[in-house]
Structure formats: C-alpha cells, structure tokens
Amino acid sequence: MSARLTRRRVLAALAALPAWPALAQLPTNPDVVIVGAGMAGLAAAKWLIGKEASVVLLEARKRTGGRVLTDTHAFGIPVDLGAAWLHSADANPVTPLVRALGFRTVPDDEDPRLYLDGKEASEPQYQGFFDAYERLVNAVDEAADEEDDMAVTRAAPPKTHSDRLAHARFGALEAGMETGRLSVKDVAVQQRTGVEWMLPDGFGTFVNAYAKGLPVKLDARVERVRLTREGVIVDSTAGTIAAKAVIVTVSAALLAEGAIQFDPPLPDWKRESFERLPMGLVDKIALQFKDNAFGDLEFTTCYVKNGSGPVLASLVRPFGDELAVCFVGGTLARDLEKAGDAAAIDLALNNLRSVFGHAIRKEFKKGVFTRWGSDPFAKGSYAFAQVGHHDKRALLAKPVGRLFFAGEACASEWPTHVAGAFLSGVEAAKAAIKEIR
C-alpha cells in the first residue's frame, strides 16, 4: 500500500470523528450565540474567542461544515460532496488556514477536455469553446460597469454552439442557475485569478480540523430568536439560551421560508434581502468503478454533450482514484432530485458511456447523488442575486439591533464561495463585539 493512500485512509477515519467537544448542555449566558456551524459560523466563533468573548454554536445538523462535506464512507476514500475547490487560491483568504493546518493541495490547472457526440472535440472546436467562454466573461465584466443591471444572457446573447456550451458552463454548472436569471453585477465580483486548488484529503476534512475545540451543540435547530432590551433569547430544540448578541449564518433559503421566527418581526428591507437571493443548485453524482475504467486517462475535467442532451461536467479519476464525479446544475439538477437517485446515476453513466464505451457500465460499482436542493438545512448550493438586486447581499449582512447575519449569501466579496462565508463570519463577529462591549 502506498504512503499516500495510507495517509488518506487515516485522514478519512479522522474526518468521521467529531473534532469538537460534545456539549452535554447549553452554557449559561454566553456573549454571543452563533446559529449554524458552517464556515461562516466557525470563522465568527474563532474570531470572537480570540477576543476573549464567550460563544456557543447551535448547529441543526449532526455535524459541522454546512455545505462543505467530505464523505468517507460511500467509497472508502474521501470524496467532497459539497465545496471542493480553493478558487483563486493565490488570493483566497482560506488558503492560509489550509496551509496552517498542514493540508495538502493539488493544482487543478489543466484545460478541460471537451467531448461532443461521443468524440473528443477537434482543435477548432476546442478553440471555439475557450474563446466563447472568454468572450462571455469579458462581456459580463463590461456590462457590470453599466449603470443598469442586466441578465448575463442580455450582456452576451448565445448565438453559436460554442456560445451555448460556454453559457451552460458559466451558468448552471458554475453558478447553479441558467444565465438568463443571473445578474451581471453580482457575478462580476467573483475572483478569477485562474489559480485553482483542490484538497485530496477533503475540504470537509479540513473544516473538521478547523472546528476542533469550538463549543458546538449539534442537533440543535434554532426555532425562534427574540430581541430584548438586554440582548437576545434563542429558542432551539436543545433548549433556550440568553446572550448579548446572536449571529445567524443559515442558508438564505431557510430565512426566506421562515424557518426561524424573529420577535419582533424583521423589517421589510431585511426580509426582501433574502427573498431576492434565492439558492442556485449544483449537485454531484459520484460514481465508483472497478480498475482501469478510463484507460490511460489521468485526473482531468471533462465536458460532455451529446445531441440535444444536457452538458455534464465530470472530474475523472480525481487524485488517481477510480471515480468520476459528475456535476449537474440549475433546472436539470432540480428535475433529477425529483426523478430520484437512480435516474441521476443513469444519466451520468450514459453521459460517460458516450466517451468511454459500453464497457463502463460493467465496470460500475456504485454511485451517490448529493441532493443539496432537498437538504432541509441548505435548500440549494449557494445564493445568487436576482437581476437588479445585487445590492441585497449588503442588506442581508446589515445588522438589526443585536441580530447579525453572515454566510456566503451576505458576502460582497467572494459570494457563493467558502471564502465569502469565512470573510462574512469574521465581519459579523467584529460588528457584534463592537456592539456588546
């Protein structure tokens, strides 16, 4: 057995263990209650504890990480079912944290492969695809400088086959929503340095390590937050706790559907902020195969489109393992969640079969479909701003008395990314401690 694989198995085992002390009961009167133990909540807690504030995190799930999840059971190796990339890693504020905890990173810097109707694209087709994507990004950046907001499709109407491929990549597969509903002013703020890294041992494994030592109460769903003259009272399924302030980091979709009741009710401008930031959806279909299912193909990303069918992106042989992680987004992902796991797995297998031949079905062992849209504590992958409402991220982050908000939906920088969640958590923590001291 190789040293790499041995280390991965050890880390996989560690990832399955709690990295925080179990709280038998809620502490009495902490300075700040943090609702949610995803990256935003964890970052807020770390910063507050560093300032000698007392905190407790209430997490509805039975684990930390939120939409960052490394599965170590399905295939016997770490597989990221949620966030997986350190996007723009050379500028990403999470990169120093990853390095400080000793996690390995692997660059994802190869151009993706493109397969059309069962054949690898010709050189002109490749060039057309890359050029169309670059034109699309440039058009979005130019349109974002205009006074009025507009949809991405208005800024760069897709006219050719290459254009439509580029829009599928930019929209459903990356933003979790088709480009006809994406605001150019919202997506233009995304960092795009071109430096992309992945974590072989899992992004979720890193988050578990980052969470170590933090006071997290799991399986504690917050139902109501009451603002009082003295501070806040938080009612959860684990009990009631009073504090000086509260930081809410749950999904924008949960806020929009009223999963947490606020007393007194939130002002209209605050409610509109999360109603105008609906959740996009990117799901993964992870497939495990027997030995040598992909011939001599090394770790790469493949975009595959057949006829009038959808475009699927797949990570093939990530980190040398005999896996394919297929990505579906937007309307297709929501339809597949309704159709069921078997339909999703079948779609991904057929998509890969067009490239690697009929034998790939014989090599197939098992698959996992993520279903982030059906997850009761996520309701999607990350928030996108409706056209004309890119300013709602800042409004969502704006406090109401001693009630503060954080999460990727609040991020004016790095929205939709783990980095955005991290930065917004720190900003909410700074605002909270300024208010209570």
What DSSP letter does each residue of 53-118 carry, written as one string? --EEEE-SSSSS-TT--EE-SSSSS-EESS--EETTTTT-TTHHHHHHTT---EE--SPPEEEETT
DSSP string across 194-256: S--EE-TT-HHHHHHHHTTT--EE-S--EEEEEE-SS-EEEEETTEEEEESEEEE---HHHHH
Residue 319 carries which DSSP code? G
Architecture label for domain 3-105+199-277+378-436: 3-Layer(bba) Sandwich (3.50)
pLDDT of residue 168: 98
Beta pairing class for 222-227 and 261-263: parallel
pLDDT of residue 425: 98
The answer to whether the CB of 56 falls within 8 A of the CB of 220 is no
Domain residue ranges in the chain: 3-105+199-277+378-436, 111-184+279-369
Rounded to whole angstroms, the Cα distance separating 315 from 299 reads: 7
Per-run averaged pLDDT (10 residues), the chain, 437 residues: 40 45 70 98 98 97 97 96 97 98 94 96 97 98 97 98 97 97 95 94 97 95 96 96 97 96 97 97 97 88 94 95 97 98 97 93 96 98 97 97 97 94 98 95
pLDDT of residue 10: 43
Rounded to whole angstroms, the Cα distance separating 47 from 32 reads: 12
Classify burial at 435, counting beta carbons within 10 Å of its beta carbon; exposed 0-12, middle 13-18, buried 19 or more.
middle
Out of 3.40.50.300, 3.40.50.2300, 3.90.660.10, 2.60.40.180, select the CATH number for domain 111-184+279-369: 3.90.660.10
Rounded to whole angstroms, the Cα distance separating 379 from 372 reads: 6
Sorted by sequence, the CB contacts under 8 Å of residue 118 that are 6+ apart come out as 306, 354, 355
Rounded to whole angstroms, the Cα distance separating 267 from 180 reads: 30
DSSP string across 117-153: TTEEPPHHHHHHHHHHHHHHHHHHHHHHTSSS--BHH
